[in-house]
Amino acid sequence: MSGLRGKTAIVGVGLAGLGSAPGWSPIEIMAESARRALDDAGLELADVDGLFVSSSTQAMPTITAAEYLGIKPRYFGGTMVGGASFEAHVLTAAMALHAGLCNVALIAYGSNQRSAAGKLVASVEAQVNEGVYAPRQPITAYALATARHMHDYGTTRTQLAEVAVAARAWAGLNPRAFKREPLTIDEVLQAPMISDPLSRLDCCLVTDGGGAVVLMRADAARDRPKSPVYLLGAGGAHWHRQIAMMPDLTVTAATQSGAAAYAMAGLGPDRMDMVQLYDAFTINTILFLEDLGFCKKGEGGAFVSGGAIAPGGALAVNTNGGGLSCVHPGMYGIFPIIEAVEQLRGEAGDRQLADAQTALVHGNGGTLSCQATCIFGTEAALTA
Amino acid sequence: MAQTRVTMMNDPITQGAGPEARYRDFLSEGRFMIQRSASTGKHVFYPRTMAPGTGQTDLEWVEASGRGTVYSFSTVRRSASEGGDHNIAIVELAEGPRTMTRVIGCEPDEVFIGMEVSARIDEQDGEPIVFFVAAPNGDKT
């Protein structure tokens, strides 16, 4: 177990502009998310001395955000590893807090992707020996992984559709979710193909939205209005940038990031009360459940079948509806953290899980490139 | 006071074309070249300044056999006005490294994992590009 276990906690979360926020810029949505997270924590802007921001549209995101917010952070991190940036920020923020480099760490994100672009933000630069072939990135990269998983393990499109249907069923319980009407397996299978074997309904939403979380050291966290949600473990790993360089298209670096997080937390997958993972595409959920040890490699398709990850199923996965049905503004990584916090606080309304004490949160960035895992727990989980 | 004379020195290692530019120059000459470490025999692609992970700087250019196997593939759906559907594949070269490419010369739905393919240097927007086609005596089943 690492010295970081339980040393820091999330004390505030905020969401803004989920769904569609025409007329709002990315930084405005980010700032509104940050304000709500600070309100939730009972803190002021002036309390923030650690700032962690990643953006698809800003080259120097912490500088831009700090100026906008009118703060002067003494520690900052603008690491850009795609959608996994936010789970990576949690680990860096915990280190900075624990080292005394800052006292209040704000992680924030905002995007107007739906209103501004109406399409997925492509990787910022064409990759060597990739762009010339015109894959529809990032979708094609995930399609290539899907095709290989189907070939190696017999995973079926119906099993992939189970992931989308389960996400939609959770979204039906979440008033904030963008797509809430029930979805059937057949609808997923019959949706237009985008990059075979992925159909439109195997792909995440394109929405606007922002989110923010505030972390403090555990001792200070206990003085905040809401119950602290402790960081018990975290780890990150990345093995490739472009999909052709991924060593095995069916095994992600989540095997490494997850192992690091479990080791720090002193808890394994059998102790996780929920999983909030980055489901940009239906294959993600299957790959990550395998790589994070919830089932064996190759068995993810069977594992998610029969409503097993839907409400009332064996394992609660993406209880907000995920990137597939709740919100996906360019990068999704901040949102699974916020959903885990709301669940662990008992604030999740109709979708609230009973007796939830632990949560695994998993971020994914690039084209299955960067993986970052966090394990959170309540006071009861911390002292158990 | 003695006068000091400043001489601008260019790094001898970075004179001339770098690995990526060399690769493109070879392609323009109709040659699909990849790198191989002289000491380990391990092939490298895409072109690097040193062997990734291990750092050998003894990379030499060798002609790729052009033989490969489809490791995975997708059909990118496009409207007819965008040029129609096209294949994207990851091909594992006989020498070991993988590359993204397109398998051409057949319908996208005729491509399969394990299909034996061979490289063909083509031209796209005035630049040379490596595509793959079904190998002449390749496994078609």
Residues of chain A short of pLDDT 50, as ranges, are: 1, 120, 122-123
- A169-173 long-range contacts, CB within 8 A, separation 24+: A169/A307, A169/A310, A169/A311, A170/A310, A170/A311, A170/A318, A170/A319, A170/A320, A170/A321, A170/A322, A170/A325, A170/A326, A170/A351, A171/A320, A171/A321, A171/A322, A171/A325, A171/A326, A172/A321, A173/A311, A173/A319, A173/A349, A173/A350, A173/A351
Q: Cβ of A135 and B75 within 8 Å? A: no
Q: ipTM value of the model?
A: 0.94
Cα–Cα distance for residue pair B98/A243, rounded to 1 Å = 10
What are the structural domains of chain B? 18-63 (no CATH), 65-141 (2.40.50.840)
What pLDDT sits at residue B12? Answer: 86
Distances (CA, A) of B75 to A116, A193, A195: 28, 9, 5
Inspect the interface and report whether the beta carbons of A148 and B46 lie closer than 8 Å: no
Judge: A140–B101 Cβ closer than 8 Å, yes or no: no
Q: Which helix (H) or strand (E) holds B118?
A: strand B116-124
The predicted-structure confidence for B78-116, as pLDDT tens digits, reads as follows 999 999 999 999 999 999 999 999 999 999 999 999 999
Residue B72 has pLDDT above 50, yes or no: yes
Tell me: pLDDT of B1 over 80: no
Nearest CA in chain B to A149: B72
- Confidence bin at B3 (pLDDT 50/70/90): low
Identify the structural domains of chain A with CATH numbers, from first to last: 8-117+208-228 (3.40.47.10), 135-201+233-383 (3.40.47.10)
Q: Of the candidates A313, A267, A314, which has an alpha carbon nearest to the alpha carbon of residue A292? A: A267
> What percent of chain A is predicted at pLDDT more than 90?
94
pLDDT at A107: 98
Of A145, A194, A245, the CB nearest to B77: A194
Q: Name the average pLDDT for chain A.
A: 96
Q: Strand, helix or coil at A255?
A: helix
Q: CB B77 to CB A192 under 8 A?
A: yes
Question: What is the pLDDT, as a whole number, of residue A126?
Answer: 80
Give yes or no for B61 touching A (CB within 8 A).
no
pLDDT value, residue B141: 43
B120 touches chain A (CB under 8 A): no
Establish if A125 touches chain B: CB-CB under 8 angstroms.
Answer: no
Residue A357: per-residue pLDDT: 98
The amino acid at A204: C
Cβ-defined contact of B71 to A249 (cutoff 8 Å):
yes
Q: What is the pLDDT of residues A59-78, one digit of tens each?
A: 999 999 999 999 999 999 99
